[in-house]
Structure 1
């Protein structure tokens, strides 16, 4: 009996060891995918969970920062690339990476279902749109009333002396939202008038911050009554109950596209393409529609509080290729003129 019992225990231990090795082996086979992103942190978990559920053999490893920082990091790593995929980065940044020969042209599965206007026009495309995000002004009506500040209706209003010290804005070198503001003003009014406007606006700016969301959060807390931000964060702040009105300036809204690209140098092209496939899927677009009024998959977006029905018609004319080609020059000029009011870098 003892021998039999000992043998049974040995057999059980052997089975458990084999199962353990099999589980370890299966875990070891999970391929890590390095994904550089500027997505809002609110959204990252949902994308990761959704993709990994559909692709259990791949693990998404996010590397996140603001748009300008991610763009600079990718360019700095050009000789020694680390990213497999880029997701949720501004199309104007991806157009620049395309010009540098860093992106792999790839048409993901289901691409023909998407709105073609929101992806790279080349065939196959080097970047595929997820959503459109656009400028908005967050206006704290309670704090503004205390200061005797009227509600602005236009970009030009913000250059009036009554708003001196009352405005925060994203820094265009670190924030994609800040860059789309500057780029849109230069395109909307021409470069001479655009810089004149920013000179006047600068007199009223209290601080240039390193995040597109932060100005709206500052407006919500009353730190500054006006924050130049974007509609995603404005919608979230308003939804939270803050005394914030969303203003869509009547001259038009600067905008950009969050998009996905496969890096040309990835050592895991099959897995990277599967990630691009999933990001182009209806499932991923349904996640995106939680926060964005305009998404790449037609018919998926839903009505968001505070976002007007004619939202897409408010978008200003925008040449993303021009913005990409002139990015370095624009940022150098902007920094020379206005960097003195930038918040310290974290």
Structure 2
């Protein structure tokens, strides 16, 4: 365990090492990030953290399935639209943190959109990952626009996730609808379908396939590409010139969870600068929501890319999500 992580955690810990009890957390970020947070928090507070790792869609499904008798206390990470849906469904607790003043406006807006039943913990822009060696072999240029993905040289060479199971892929659909309008966006998705080799279950699987040289291009969050690059894989990333959306990874306290007091303490700690440095330690490069976290040059600066004014409230609503996913399944997936 890196000593600076423990020191950072101690600086933000909200209770002493003699504390007792536990907190049950569904974690929708990378496993090392989840486990390091849990280990350090337990060491510095004495509270046992029970981690279950699930993707955003699966996490939401579990919370809904157990709503009559919740076993989870807190949900950390994963795309913000699913957290907004959990709030809308009455699954999460209204809680207004005193640390909101230390967060970026996009994180506060996420809390406000959910009537303070969730909060933003990181930002991750959507873009493309590509394998430089495969591009060179095919003498192809890296994609820098949504239009580029329709080029014939990428036929069978692109992977993206399935929006029914992946918040990443749903963000793709919602982004395109906002850029192009719904009719043109689905025309585009049908055309793109011809170049897609596989729709994966998880949002990170496509970029891992790019890193392994199994496919040329992925539609991914840019920070996931950076994670593969720092491990030495021959990958690069770009963001589309027409504009792109971003996930606001979020955190929510489960309503009527068995350990609500401990959930609130973990929640507060996870919003401190110390509690927000575990992503970087796990080689995850989202932008933390606390403005006082030291900046890292490998983290994409939102001011330097063309981010759209993503309507998180509209596209985070459960009815809209179901409608768009159902339309994608009927008009795109079933047409394969």
TM-score range, shorter chain: 0.7 to 0.9
User: Aligned runs of 1:20-169 on 2, under 5 Å?
Assistant: 30-56=20-46, 58-119=47-108, 120-121=111-112, 125-169=116-160
Partner of 1:8: none
Cα 1:197–1:99 shift into 2, 3 Å: same
1:298 aligns with 2:291: yes
Q: CA deviation at 1:137?
A: 1.0
Return the offset for 1:311.
4.8
Against the structure 1 CA distance between its residues 238 and 319, is the aligned structure 2 distance closer, same or farther, given a 3 Å change threshold?
same
Pairwise CA distance, 1:133: 1.4
**1:213-262: CA deviation from partner (whole Å, max 9, x where unpaired):** 11111111211111111122200111122221211111122211111111
C-alpha change, 1:184 and 1:281, in structure 2 (3 Å) is same
Q: Equivalent residue of 2:71, what SS?
A: coil
**In 2, Cα distance between equivalents of 1:301 and 1:180:** 27
Which runs of 5 or more residues in structure 1 are unaligned? 1-26
From 232, 256, 271, the equivalent of 2:262 is: 271
Q: Matched residues in 2 for 1:123 and 1:210: separation?
A: 27
Farther-moved stretch of structure 1 (287-296 vs 256-265): 287-296
Contact 1:103 1:262 in 2 (8 A): yes
| 2:244 is equivalent to residue 250 of structure 1 | no
Of the structure 1 ranges 235-244 and 194-203, higher mean CA displacement relative to structure 2 is found in 235-244
CA separation of 1:111/1:309 partners in 2, compared to 1, >3 Å: closer, same or farther?
A: closer
- Deviation of 1:80 (Å): 3.1
Aligned partners of 2:303 and 2:201: how far apart in 1?
Answer: 26
Which structure: larger Rg?
A: 1
CA shift at 1:175, angstroms? 1.5
Are residues 264 and 311 of structure 1, via their aligned partners in 2, closer, same or farther at CA, if it must alter by over 3 Å? same
TM, length-normalised to structure 2? 0.86
| Structure showing greater relative contact order (alpha-carbon pairs closer than 8 Å, 6 or more residues apart) | 2
2:308 to 299, 313, 316: 316
- 1:109 Cα deviation after fit: 4.1
CA distance in 2, matches of 1:301, 1:341: 47
1:209–1:215 Cα contact (<8 Å) kept: yes
Q: Please tell me whether the aligned partners of residues 108 and 273 of structure 1 are also in contact (alpha carbons under 8 angstroms).
A: no
Q: In structure 2, how many angstroms separate the alpha carbons of the residues matched to 1:230 and 1:341?
A: 26
How far 1:89 moved relative to its partner? 2.7
C-alpha separation in 2, matches of 1:215 and 1:52: 33
The RMSD of aligned alpha carbons is 2.4
How far does the alpha carbon of each residue in 1:69-115 deviate from its partner, in whole angstroms, 9 at most, with x for none? Answer: 11222222233322111111322111111111121111234332222
Give, in whole Å, the separation in 2 of the partners of 1:308 and 1:33. 32
CA contact (8 A) 2:26 2:72 kept: yes
Q: Structure 1 residues 144 and 313 mapped into 2: Cα distance closer, same or farther (>3 Å)?
A: closer
> Structure 1 residues 210, 81: CA separation in 2 closer, same or farther (over 3 Å shift)?
same
Q: String of CA shifts for 1:245-296, please: whole Å, max 9, x gaps.
A: 2111111222111111111111322111111111111211222344334211
Q: TM-score of the superposition, structure 1-length normalised?
A: 0.84
| Counterpart check, 1:333 vs 2:323 | no
Q: Secondary structure at the match of 1:241?
A: coil
For 2:77, what is the secondary structure of its paired residue? Answer: strand
In the TM superposition, residue 33 of structure 1 has moved relative to its aligned partner by 1.6
Distance 1:122 1:178, change over 3 A: closer
- For residues 155 and 301 of structure 1, what CA distance do their matches in structure 2 show? 32
Structure 2 residue matching 1:89: 3-state secondary structure: coil
TM-aligned CA deviation for residue 40 of structure 1: 0.9
Task: Tell me: CA distance 1:279–1:166, structure 2 relative to 1, closer, same or farther (3 Å).
Answer: same
